[in-house]
Amino acid sequence: MSKAQRKTSNDRRATHRSNARAFASLDRRAKAVELRLAGASYRRIATQLGVNVSNAFRLVQRALADAHRLVREDADRLVQLELMRMDRCVQKLERGLNSRDDETVARAVRELVRVSASRRRLLGLDQPAQLHVAGVPTAGVFIGWSDEDLERFVKTGEHPDRRLPPQAILLPKLEELDQADNQGTEKP
């Protein structure tokens, strides 16, 4: 046997050993997850698989991470597939924009807007609407206030705990809010 043949033979054996170790590792992970799903503690998993408790934990965590990665990859593929479908729809709808019929153009525009909205939602480009209510304290401010204190606060804006310094009062003056809004800055 030549030197090159021996090297190739050794490489095959090394690859075979490496594959066998990888398969054994995957098998241990699968058994660890199966036991964990059945309600086994990490100590019991460690005992049954002949590893220590920290390795049992790592086996389960790696298996879950692998599963999560596969699910994420599948989801990414589905997103790409849906984007390609949308692109085909857009191409067909754009043909309708060249029509001489106003109704056909209007329909194409409506559908293009819908496809665009779907694309934005799919890609997470639409941010949720943020509601900013200026000058209204949070519910926590009212805890411990008497009905009279709350009524006085609503009518006059006067904080019931007059011992607080003015900067500690949570409801800023309306003029300050207007000024902050006009300058584009927020007041605490």
| Residue 128 falls inside a structural domain | no
| Residue 134 falls inside a structural domain | no
How far apart (Å, rounded) are the C-alpha atoms in residues 51 and 122? 44
Q: What is the pLDDT of residues 29-44, one digit of tens each?
A: 999 999 999 999 999 9
Domain containing 12 equals 3-123
| pTM tops 0.75 | no
| Residue 169 falls inside a structural domain | yes
Total tally of structural domains belonging to the chain: 2
pLDDT, mean of residues 38-57: 93
Asked which of 72, 91, 123 is the last residue of a domain, the reply is 123
| Residue 158 falls inside a structural domain | yes
> What band does 85 get if pLDDT is binned at 50, 70 and 90?
very high
| Residue 109 falls inside a structural domain | yes
How far apart (Å, rounded) are the C-alpha atoms in residues 1 and 7? 10
Q: What is the pLDDT of residues 108-163, one digit of tens each?
A: 999 999 999 999 988 888 776 665 555 555 544 555 567 777 777 777 777 666 65
| Residue 9 falls inside a structural domain | yes
Q: Are residues 109 and 155 in the same domain?
A: no
